[in-house]
Amino acid sequence: MSTNMGYLRSSFVFFLLSFVTYTYASFEVRNNHVYGVVLIATLTVLVEVLARPEIVVGFCSVPGGVRNNCPYTVWAASTPIGGGRRLDRGQTWVINAPRGTKMARIWGRTNCNFNSAGRGSCQTGDCGGVLQCTGWGKPPNTLAEYALDQFSNLDFWDISLVDGFNIPMTFAPTNPSGGKCHAIHCTANINGECPGPLRVPGGCNNPCTTFGGQQYCCTQGPCGPTNFSRFFKQRCPNAYSYPQDDPTSLFTCPSGSTNYRVVFCP
């Protein structure tokens, strides 16, 4: 999927009193580890319906959490939900992402300096010089990507190294159910073993950013692995190593069945 990875509709009404129970998951990040918390809430909804007694509820909060277990500060980023937050070692950030959220990313920024207005810069993962990200980060950055309640009522999620690597990461459902619904990791010493042409301060860059071209960027049709993508894949077999690395890198869980957690430096 690698980013490459409600609606409340009601008719006009007579009085209808309904109880809607919704579950949402939350991500917690603490000491570079992310923990998920499941919260159950029951809402009493009073609605008026005028013609057909029909109400379709298509929203739900799916909690997500991000935790920093690294021995250093990570400035976590999350788009399109969340923005950004400083996470010192052991801290967790709860993110509530509604069902239907897609093309979502969570990543960590390193060696940042921000002023009181939230302006500054980061050595890796910088998103336009702001603490509260609204766009994607500048490579290299290890990515957790997800799309909730999509095709066949599934959540799709992955770890991607298509933008390179900066921080070790775990991405996991809090209620794994077998098959493709289980924890995935990318914890190898990629920064220390990074090939010379991809080495940058604070991380290991990706070949598309470094060299460009169809061979590495896959922007004009089918493409295959390269020696550089194989370097990443050998060290993190469950992570995307190039944009079309779907068969071994994309994971799914039944929508609404679990919360998710992201942990930096697990």
The Cα 250–Cα 253 span in angstroms is: 11
Q: How confident is the model at residue 65 (pLDDT cuts 50, 70, 90)?
A: confident
| Helix segments in the chain, DSSP class H | 190-193, 207-211, 214-217, 227-235
Tens-digit pLDDT profile for residues 135-167: 999 999 999 999 999 999 999 999 999 999 999
Higher-confidence position of 104 and 34: 104
Give the CA count within 13 Å in the CB-facing half-sphere of 200.
20
Average pLDDT, the chain: 81
pLDDT score of 104 more than 50 = yes
Mean pLDDT of 220-228: 94
The Cα 170–Cα 215 span in angstroms is: 29
Higher-confidence position of 14 and 79: 79
CATH 2.60.110.10 fits 7-264, yes or no: yes
pLDDT score of 240 more than 80 = yes
Q: What is the pLDDT of residue 22?
A: 34
Q: How confident is the model at residue 237 (pLDDT cuts 50, 70, 90)?
A: very high
| Helix segments in 106-200, DSSP class H | 190-193
Q: What is the pLDDT of residue 178?
A: 86
Mean pLDDT of 32-36: 38
**Strands (DSSP E) along the chain, which ranges?**
7-10, 13-30, 33-50, 55-58, 61-68, 74-79, 83-87, 92-98, 104-114, 120-124, 143-147, 154-160, 169-173, 184-186, 199-200, 203-204, 251-254, 260-264
Helix (H, G, I), strand (E, B) or coil at 211: helix
pLDDT score of 70 more than 70 = yes
pLDDT score of 64 more than 80 = no
Domain ranges of the chain: 7-264
Q: What is the pLDDT of residue 184?
A: 97
pLDDT score of 8 more than 70 = no
Tens-digit pLDDT profile for residues 124-134: 999 999 999 99
Q: What is the pLDDT of residue 192?
A: 98
Q: What is the pLDDT of residue 11?
A: 31
